[in-house]
Structure 1
Amino acid sequence: MASPIGNSVQVREVLKPSNWQLRLLSPGPPACDPNSNTGNVAISIYARQGLDAAECTSLDTSMFNTSTVQSISWKSPGITAVYSLCMWKNSDCSDGEAGLADAITTNWQVCYPFTGWKAWSTVEQGTSCVGY
């Protein structure tokens, strides 16, 4: 019988301490569920997590096709700090405010629409995405 939360690598990633977690989610099935107790791991096609702020990270389109991404999951439960997710139009996070596609400044957004951004970074909540 398959584990309801995925394989052992996925389980280790879910259990690893972190201050933030980003997942890109496919349309499913199953459909993205903001109340899922498994974190929508079954439809996750990209996952990153960390303890500190993350510099500009380009989405590696050689690993997956961004046209298959429907939504994202952002969680920053605030073990030692709370972080915001910055989403960028360019793969190098350039062009200042004009290059910022979107930002999630709350600590929990699940099934948030993916709008085709090319890169992401994280900053401590209350810090501007631009110029970090």
Structure 2
Amino acid sequence: MSVTWGNEPPSVGEYGELRRLAGLSRRAPNAAAKGLEGSLHVVTARERARLVGMGRVVGDGGCFAQIVDIAVDPEFRRQGIGTGILERLIAWAEAELPASCDLSLIADPGSFELYKRFGFEIRTGMVRHPG
């Protein structure tokens, strides 16, 4: 397998399909388009032209930024793609965001160990879910 790394946002269709394959919640196409457009930074992993992984940094770019949408197609898991995405997102954040910018993420319990390896700490908080 030969993965090609990129920084162009995926199409709305690719984004929706990868989220579905990765078991993430569905986003309305208009919301997905707006979200992708508003990204501070995007990392994609493609096998040939097929999107097999991605992640984004969103936020105000000064005080707060958040890593979101880390998703890997189940066929391509356990091949270092998730780690590669996270490495690239963090490298970008360290180079481009102010040192005082808070970089956070929300993780599923099964992925805590990956994020802890990159210096993230588990903290409690509250999130408002639409509905």
Give the TM-score normalised by the residue count of structure 1.
0.30
User: Which structure is higher in strand share?
Assistant: 1
User: Which structure is higher in helix share?
Assistant: 2
Higher relative contact order (CA 8 A, sep 6+): 1
